[in-house]
């Protein structure tokens, strides 16, 4: 059993020293401007240098102080580092409270936001150029199975209307699944190994105005996220690219909270060998019994299996399968009054 006391609201309160450190870190004009910007978007040091008009060493020093105070978070994406306002912990609450109290019509932060628009526009242009180069292959792949709208509707039907605190989208690609589900959750994280695809996803997320989304570059076999942290994990058209899909499922299941769900969308078994040669597919779909075994090995209960079969009038299309698993653990109250436990 694992102790969940750290998740109780009273344990999110900060010590006097931590509050003082946070306020001291924020108590400088450039660092306040940085907090406002990072509440709007994930940005690199280069982005912030461009927006703030200050030197890289100076901006880096400000960022380091805010990271050390727990007010912003840093994550690596290849050779790059992205920063965003913190989402968890008492210092994060302080940071967001400060940002909310700044006049939205302040001329200095207003000018910063205008330059942020230009940075985003340049990023969108680069992403569009990459996607245009991939468009022919991408559109051909989409034509091989039932319409994406049908798949997306099936996913939303599974997710339902219930509130979600945290969602993890693995192999996020263009970020489309995040666009669908992030409005229904408090916090969403997308992970992909490709920096180029993350740029596309970042542009899509910013265009959609989703501020509760974080993007991470990471290995699906060693995810850069916490265990027991997500209500829902989604793997949409990802497993057929992997050498060891069951291993990826086990790693994904590690991230689920007790009672959390996993949705896997992929192809049913097929014989289209061209996908290996032209699109680097390692697996030609997955049989229901193989996926059921992989779910069991990952410690999940198989709850649902649906096939989206193309119409008879459409030649050479592939069947899309959707599997839903659930973490069988539950959170129960400790009768001795020491808090919640996982059983």
Q: Is the pLDDT of residue 254 over 90?
A: yes
**Of all helices (H) and strands (E), which one includes residue 188?**
strand 185-192
Helices (H), 285-328: 288-297
The predicted pLDDT at position 315 comes to 55
- Determine if the pTM surpasses 0.75: no
Write phi, then psi, for 4 (nearest 5 degrees).
Answer: -110, 20
> What is the band of 305 on the pLDDT scale with cuts at 50, 70, 90?
very high
CB-CB contact of 71 with 25 (8 Å): yes
Instruction: Note whether 297 and 276 are within 8 A (CB).
Output: no
In words, the CATH class of domain 143-342 is: alpha beta
Angle at alpha carbon of residue 290, lines to 289 and 291, rounded to 5°? 90
Question: What region, left, alpha or beta, does residue 333 occupy, with left being phi > 0 and alpha being psi -120 to 50 degrees?
Answer: beta
Domain span(s) for CATH 3.40.50.150 in the chain: 143-342
The phi and psi torsions of 55 (rounded to 5 degrees) equal: -70, 155
* Closest among 148, 149, 204, 150 to 173, alpha carbons compared: 204
pLDDT in tens, 45-72: 999 999 999 999 999 999 999 999 999 9
State the DSSP H helix or E strand holding residue 48, giving kind and residue range, or none if neither.
helix 45-52
Q: Which residues pair with 262 in a beta bridge?
A: 233, 325
Burial letters 137-162, b for 16+ CB under 10 A, else e: eeeebeebbbeeeebbebbeebbeee
Kindly report, as residue ranges, where domains of CATH 1.10.10.10 are found in the chain.
5-117
Confidence grade of residue 9 (pLDDT, cut at 50, 70, 90): very low
Phi, psi of 166 (to 5 degrees): -140, 140
**What's the mean pLDDT in 311-339?**
71
The better pLDDT of the pair 12, 207 is held by 207
Q: What is the pLDDT of residues 213-250, one digit of tens each?
A: 999 999 999 999 999 999 999 999 999 988 889 999 99
Element (H, E) at 3: none
Rounded distance between C-alpha atoms, residue 293 and residue 256, angstroms: 18
Least confident stretch, 9-23, 117-131, 291-305: 9-23
- Residues 164-203: pLDDT tens digits? 899 999 999 889 999 999 999 999 999 998 888 888 899 8
pLDDT band at 10 (very low <50, low <70, confident <90, very high): very low
Q: What is the mean pLDDT of the chain?
A: 85
Integer CA distances (angstroms), 121 to 43, 202, 206, in order = 13, 12, 10
**Domain at 5-117: CATH code:** 1.10.10.10
pLDDT at 7: 37
């Amino acid at each position: 059993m694992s102790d969940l006391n750290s998740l109780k609201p009273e344990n999110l309160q900060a010590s006097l020293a931590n509050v003082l450190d946070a306020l001291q870190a924020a108590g400088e004009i450039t660092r306040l401007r940085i907090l406002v910007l990072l509440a709007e978007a994930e940005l690199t040091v280069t982005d912030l240098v461009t927006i703030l008009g200050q030197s890289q060493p100076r901006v880096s020093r400000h960022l380091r102080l805010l990271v050390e105070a727990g007010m912003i978070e840093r994550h690596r994406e290849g050779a790059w580092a992205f920063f965003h306002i913190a989402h968890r912990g008492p210092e994060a609450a302080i940071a967001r409270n400060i940002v909310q109290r700044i006049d939205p019509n302040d001329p200095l932060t207003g000018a910063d936001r205008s330059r942020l628009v230009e940075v985003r526009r340049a990023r969108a242009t680069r992403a569009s150029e990459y996607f245009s180069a991939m468009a022919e292959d991408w559109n051909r792949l989409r034509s091989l199975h039932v319409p994406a709208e049908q798949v997306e509707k099936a996913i939303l039907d599974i997710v339902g209307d219930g509130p979600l605190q945290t969602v993890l989208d693995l192999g996020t690609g263009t970020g489309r699944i995040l666009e669908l589900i992030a409005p229904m959750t408090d916090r969403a994280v997308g992970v992909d190994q490709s920096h180029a695809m993350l740029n596309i996803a970042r542009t899509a997320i910013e265009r959609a105005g989703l501020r509760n989304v974080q993007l991470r570059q990471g290995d699906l076999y060693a995810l850069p996220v916490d265990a027991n942290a997500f209500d829902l994990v989604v793997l949409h058209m990802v497993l057929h690219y992997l050498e060891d899909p069951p291993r990826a499922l086990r790693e994904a299941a590690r991230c689920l909270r007790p009672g959390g769900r996993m949705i896997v969308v992929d192809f049913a078994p097929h014989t289209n060998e061209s996908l290996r040669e032209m699109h680097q597919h390692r697996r030609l779909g997955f049989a229901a019994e193989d996926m059921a075994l992989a779910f069991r090995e990952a410690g999940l209960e198989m709850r649902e299996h649906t096939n989206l079969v193309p119409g008879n009038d459409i030649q050479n299309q592939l069947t899309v399968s959707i599997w839903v698993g659930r973490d069988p653990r539950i959170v129960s109250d400790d009768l001795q009054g020491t808090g919640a436990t996982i059983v």
